[in-house]
Amino acid sequence: MYSNNTAAATTIIGESSFSDSLSIADGFSDSKKKILWYIKVMQQAGLEELSKVLKISRMAVYKHLNILLKKGFVEPIHIREGNVGRPKIFYQLTRNSKSIFPRSYSTIASSAFDYIEKRMGKEGIMDLLGERQAQLFLQYNQRLNSLEFEDKIKELAKIRDEEGYIAESKKNQ
């Protein structure tokens, strides 16, 4: 499972600044934080890979993963390579773990808008927003097109909820 992204992820692991930003994991050791970051970057990782990257024993990695598993931050996945033999166990982040990573989407978006406006003017911003609107329309239309009106409202609320918004549909009497 060692891939081309390993070098980039290993560089991240080697930097210490990332560990200050894991809010919920504040009580975690640096090793646990590094494991979480590495799995976030790589999507999944096994004991052997984590052991090599972190330069600690497989047993140490196992103990850290076991704690992260009990806390609900990682989950095992079994991947069978070939038709014989036992599946290998890899770990991936759970939905709960996403809350421990900082989100600075608004800062990134604001910086991107500023950059586009400087380079392309307000027209560039309008083009970008128009393109995004068209993408969303196509995505929403695929899920809503065949539904009746009331079901469309419920499905739209579900879509927006999946996108991270708090949405619900209620029928007024």
- pLDDT tens per residue across span 51-99: 999 999 999 999 999 999 999 999 999 988 888 888 999 999 998 887 7
Contacts 24+ apart (CB under 8 A), 95-102: 96/72, 97/36, 97/40, 97/72, 97/73, 99/24, 100/22, 100/23, 100/24, 100/25, 100/36, 100/73, 101/21, 101/22, 101/36, 101/40, 102/21, 102/22, 102/23
- Residue 64 has a CB neighbour count (10 Å cut-off) of 22
Residues of the chain with CATH 1.10.10.10: 6-100
Q: In sequence order, what E strands does the chain have?
A: 45-46, 74-79, 88-93
Question: Across residues 26-53, what is the average pLDDT?
Answer: 88
Could you tell me if 22 and 100 are in contact, meaning their C-beta atoms sit under 8 angstroms apart? yes
Percent of the chain with pLDDT over 90: 50
Residue 45's beta-bridge partner residues? 91
Percent of the chain with pLDDT over 70: 82
Type of residue numbered 144: L
Higher pLDDT among residues 9 and 144, named by residue? 144
Is it the case that residue 50 has pLDDT exceeding 90? yes
At the top level of CATH, the class of 6-100 is mainly alpha
pTM for the whole structure: 0.53
- Residue 162's pLDDT band, with cuts at 50, 70 and 90, is confident
